[in-house]
C-alpha cells in the first residue's frame, strides 16, 4: 500500500498525530504546516504537562518553552529557546523561520520578537506548575519523587553551584539505582517532548519539536529540542528524525542529524535510530531517551534506552486511524 503521506511523532500523543494527519491528508496542507498544526495540538492540550504552558517550572517557578520547525525541502529552520510568557512556541519558531533570516532566538528577546509579530504575552504558570515548584522548594530543592531515605542528589539543587567534579556521585547512589529511579520519571504515563516528522505525498520532509523542557532547570537552560540536528532534523534526501529524553546529554551527539545522514546513505530507519543513540549510551549508560526515524519512502523505525517501552504514533494511508507503536529498548 501507499506509505505516503506520513505523520510520525514521539509518545502516544495521538491527538497531535491526528491533527497533523488531517492537515496533510484531508486539507492538503504542506508538511511544514502539518508539523506546526500537530505540535500546536500538543501545546494547547498541554500533552502530559510536558508540552506547552503550565508545566516543568524552573528553579524560580517559571515555565519556559523550547521549539523548532524545519523544512527539509529548503533546509529553512526556525527555533526558540527558553521562550518566556508566550504560549504557542512552535508558531513562534515558525515565525522565526518565515519572518527572519535567523535560525534560533532565545529568552526575553525571543519574547520581544514574538510580540512584535503579533503573539500575546501571557503568564505560563498553571496551578499544577505552581504546586510543583512549591513542593520542590519545600523539599529542599529535591524532586518530590526522590525518596526520603536517599541522600539528596546535589545535581538538582537550587544552588549555590559548585564544580560537578567535587560531587561524590558514588556516595550518593549506585548507577543502576539512579537508572531505575530515573526510569520512572520518563515512562508511559509521564512522557515528554513532542517531536514530529511529516512527509507529504511528493516526499517533502518537515520536522518539529515543542517542549517545556526539564523540571527545576536552572533559568536560561535550553534543551536539545530547539537545537537543529539534536531535537529534530529534516532532509528531503534522507528523511526525518526527532528525539526525546535527557536533552542535556542528547544534544552533545546530534542524534537526529546522525540518523538522517545514515538514512541518506541507505541505512534502514530502525538501524539508523539505533546507531544514533549508540554513542550516547557509550558515554552515558544511564541516559534515558528515544528517537524516531523515517526515510523518504515512508519506512520508519525507533530506538530507545532505559525505558521499559517507548511508544510513538504513526499515521499513513496504511494506518489512517493513527497507530501507536511500541519499541522495546
Task: Decide: is 295 part of the binding site for ligand SD4 (CB under 6 A).
Answer: no
Q: Which of 224, 267, 275, 319 binds ligand SD4 (CB under 6 A)?
A: 224
Burial class (CB in 10 A: 0-12, 13-18, 19+), 175: exposed
Task: Decide: is 223 part of the binding site for ligand SD4 (CB under 6 A).
Answer: yes
Rounded to whole angstroms, the Cα distance separating 93 from 110 reads: 9
* Residue 107 marked in a binding site: no
CA angle 14, 78, 293 (to 5 degrees): 45
Of 29 and 217, nearer to ligand SD4 (C-beta) is 217
Of 227 and 315, nearer to ligand SD4 (C-beta) is 227
Rounded to whole angstroms, the Cα distance separating 92 from 164 reads: 35
Contact 18, 318 (CB under 8 A): no
Please tell me whether residue 159 adopts helix, strand or coil conformation. coil
Minimum CB separation from ligand SD4 for residue 164, in Å? Answer: 18
Of 243 and 319, nearer to ligand SD4 (C-beta) is 243
Task: Decide: is 43 part of the binding site for ligand SD4 (CB under 6 A).
Answer: no
Q: Which of 214, 267, 293, 304 binds ligand SD4 (CB under 6 A)?
A: 214
The 10 Å CB-count burial string (b at 16+, else e) for 269-280 is beebbbbbbeeb
Q: Which stretch binds ligand SD4 (CB under 6 A): 92-100, 137-145, 218-226, 313-321?
A: 218-226
* Residue 222 marked in a binding site: yes
Task: Decide: is 72 part of the binding site for ligand SD4 (CB under 6 A).
Answer: no
Q: Quick check: is 193 catalytic?
A: yes
* Residue 101 marked in a binding site: no
Task: Decide: is 254 part of the binding site for ligand SD4 (CB under 6 A).
Answer: no
Q: For ligand SD4, how many residues bind (rule: CB under 6 A)?
A: 14
Q: Which of 115, 110, 91 is closest to 32 using CA atoms? A: 91
Rounded to whole angstroms, the Cα distance separating 59 from 219 reads: 6
Of 211 and 306, nearer to ligand SD4 (C-beta) is 211
Going by the annotation, the residues of the binding site for substrate are 221-224, 244-247
Amino acid at each position: 500500500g501507499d506509505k505516503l503521506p506520513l505523520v510520525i511523532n514521539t509518545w502516544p500523543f495521538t491527538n497531535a498525530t491526528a491533527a497533523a494527519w488531517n492537515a496533510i491528508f484531508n486539507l492538503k496542507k504542506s508538511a511544514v504546516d502539518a508539523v506546526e498544526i500537530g505540535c500546536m495540538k500538543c501545546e494547547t492540550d498541554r500533552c502530559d504537562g510536558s508540552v506547552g504552558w503550565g508545566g516543568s517550572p524552573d528553579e524560580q517557578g517559571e515555565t519556559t518553552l523550547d521549539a523548532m520547525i524545519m523544512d527539509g525541502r529548503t533546509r529553512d529552520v526556525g527555533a526558540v529557546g527558553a521562550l518566556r510568557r508566550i504560549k504557542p512556541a512552535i508558531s513562534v519558531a515558525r515565525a522565526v523561520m518565515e519572518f527572519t533570516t535567523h535560525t534560533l532566538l532565545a529568552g526575553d528577546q525571543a519574547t520581544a520578537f514574538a510580540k512584535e509579530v503579533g503573539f500575546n504575552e501571557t503568564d505560563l504558570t498553571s496551578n499544577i506548575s505552581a504546586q510543583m515548584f512549591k513542593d520542590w522548594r519545600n523539599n529542599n530543592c529535591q524532586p518530590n519523587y526522590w525518596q526520603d531515605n536517599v541522600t539528596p542528589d546535589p545535581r538538582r539543587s537550587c544552588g549555590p553551584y559548585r564544580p560537578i567534579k567535587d560531587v561524590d556521585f558514588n556516595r550518593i547512589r549506585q548507577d543502576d539505582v539512579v537508572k531505575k529511579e530515573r526510569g520512572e520519571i520518563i515512562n508511559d504515563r509521564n512522557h515528554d517532548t513532542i517531536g514530529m516528522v511529516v512527509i507529504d505525498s511528493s516526499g517533502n520532509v518537515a520536522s518539529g519539536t515543542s517542549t517545556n523542557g526539564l523540571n527545576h532547570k536552572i533559568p536560561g537552560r535550553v534543551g536539545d529540542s530547539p537545537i537543529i540536528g539534536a531535537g529534530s532534523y529534516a532532509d528531503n534526501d534522507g528523511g526525518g528524525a526527532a528525539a526525546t529524553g535527557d536533552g542535556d546529554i542528547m544534544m552533545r551527539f546530534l542524534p537526529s542529524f546522525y540518523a538522517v545522514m545514515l538514512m541518506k546513505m541507505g541505512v534502514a530507519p530502525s538501524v539508523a535510530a539505533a546507531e544514533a543513540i549508540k554513542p550516547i549510551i557509550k558515554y552515558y549508560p544511564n541516559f534515558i531517551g528515544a528517537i524516531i526515524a523515517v526515510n523518504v519512502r515512508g519506512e520508519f523505525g525507533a530506538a530507545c534506552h532505559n525505558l521499559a517501552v517507548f511508544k510513538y504514533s504513526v499515521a499513513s494511508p496504511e494506518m489512517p486511524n493513527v497507530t501507536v507503536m511500541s519499541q522495546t529498548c
